[in-house]
Structure 1
Amino acid sequence: MTKQNNTPIFPFTAIVGQEEMKLALELNVIDPKIGGVMIMGDRGTGKSTTIRAIADLLPEIEVIKDDPFNRHPAEENEGKIETEFIKIPMIDLPLGATEDRVCGTIDIEKALTEGVKAFEPGLLAKANRGILYVDEVNLLDDHLVDILLDSAASGWNTVEREGISVRHPAQFVLVGSGNPEEGELRPQLLDRFGMHAEIRTVKDPDLRVKIVEERTLFDLNPHAWVDKYKDQQDCLKQKIIDAQKLLDKIEMPYDFRVKISQVCSELDVDGLRGDIVTNRAAKAYTAFHGGTAVSIKDIEKIIVLCLRHRLRKDPLESIDSGYKVKKLFDEIFDID
């Protein structure tokens, strides 16, 4: 049985421009271990539309029927279980959400009187095996951002109340967006996001007209507009599935790995997260384009996305546009 969602979503392949944001989302879907993406840009640049569109593009997943954690049938060992297919969950985290709403709550009274762990799942449970989207993440309480990042990194959420502990799977791609005018995330939190995409308002008048026309036509007849892009959507969906299957077979020359670490070292990037994410993203990009071995061009396409947000040491300093990363990459990889 498949759950149907009848409300059409603007097709991902119909989105004009914003290539950096689209690429970051595609690569995180291919390899969720990249660690999510932070999307910073002006208001009204299609951040939410694009993020919802990538979720709609993803293949359905098989889950245990009525399971609050969307677990795969293989995770349940007790007897015969009923399964169903659902669209990959796309969960919005509202700005005013409390910790209980995010993590879930334990009914202490029920636990003590009836001797059962009465756990009410939160948004992290619903987001398992899906995408968790936090708009205006830069306005979210730092403590909550910490919880989200910890769960995204470990794949688990633990709730503890009065000596009672509940742990459940919480594997998701964390996508944050925000407007830099309203403040940046602290560098320590920003560094935890795998990639950082910057988007700007389109300046070209012809392109602006095209974007407005596409949106207007979609609003007039959403179903017809979705049908128009069906072949392109199916093609991209298959490309993502093929890349996921190919990912483990991708090889990267040792020399390239050393040079990536040299770039990170000379940029004074703290820790090794930058090295790891750049390696992962380069392999995902190679797989996305059907290759088997990472090339210098593949690394060039993703390295700014992976490192630009890791250079900032002072919270008041603005994020480098990527010029420093690109300049050093060209020097170390000997690009003319």
Structure 2
Amino acid sequence: MAGAAIEDPQGHLWFASTLGVMRYDPARDRTPPAPPAVVVDAAFSSVQGAIRPGSRLGTAVGTITFKLAVPTFRDEDRIRFRHRLLPVEHEWSEPEYSNVVRLASVAPGSYRFEAIAEDVSGRRSATVMELPFSVLLPWWRTPLAELFGCLLLLGLVVLAFRVRTRRLQRERNRLEQVVEERTRELQAQAAELQRLASTDELTGTANRRKFAQALELELQRLSRSPDGARLSLILLDLDGFKEINDTHGHDAGDRLLAAIGRRLRERLRSTDLVARFGGDEFAVILPLTSRNGAQRAALKLIQAVAKVKVPMDDREIGVTASAGFAVVASTADVTGKLDQLITQADMALYAAKRAGGNRVYSLDGTWQ
């Protein structure tokens, strides 16, 4: 029977063949060895060239190619290869007969390429081939560059903050300036309104309302002053002013009144107050002024009025003035005395006018 074999007691197998009887001893049969370790025949980058163990490749590596080989001639065409790229791939690849491995788009990092050989029986190389290499980070991703980037970003944030702060400060300063200017304008307008409310528009002197307020205030102040203090009031009326209006017109009369108002203000102290009391009548408040001081002031004022001249056509026009004054002492009870003081001065004024004008009169000195 073809292919038949007989096993003897020693375990040998006996076969019949055309050459005779053949004996096979299984104990002497040797198992084929496992494939030897893989070696790298070539490793290179399509951009940077050859790769050696420990190579540091630049950022652009292109495609990395490994050509593997097994140093054996036994069943060479039946050797397969497995590979992996640590730490990206932890499992071995499926066995392939191709000895060329290509890796595309390898990111920056440290790697170890490993490969083993495997025969058809599944026996693997006892030693794993290892080829470590690394792909460098681009310069903008290096720790130093990242630190610089962080510092730059921080600097930009600080700069933006300072720019914004300065812009806000400038805006704040601008608004404060606008508010300040507006406040000054309002204050000026308020002061102007106050001035208009207390000033006679024609003569520039205080008006009747301002005069009453000032006289009441000075009377109250006098009541708190030491004994012997005096407050004087002068009423001054222009002589013949009606004839000026009737002869030369009201425009001429207004110009004359304005000029007299300026002259009266120039002749008084800063503490004194001159007011337009009526049409052509003025009132002068003289704080802390005795009877003699009031008389001298009244004479000075009527002399100043007599010197005021206003050009009119081919001539100059002017008038004289009469004055009456009254004085109140600090020892007097001045409560409600405002009208009484004005009446005293008014009576003295008309006494001066009845006497012919251009003179100063008073009634019995101070009144108690």
TM category (shorter chain) comes to under 0.3
Which structure has more relative contact order (CA 8 Å, sep 6+)? It is: 1
More helix by share: 1
With normalisation by structure 2, the TM-score equals 0.19
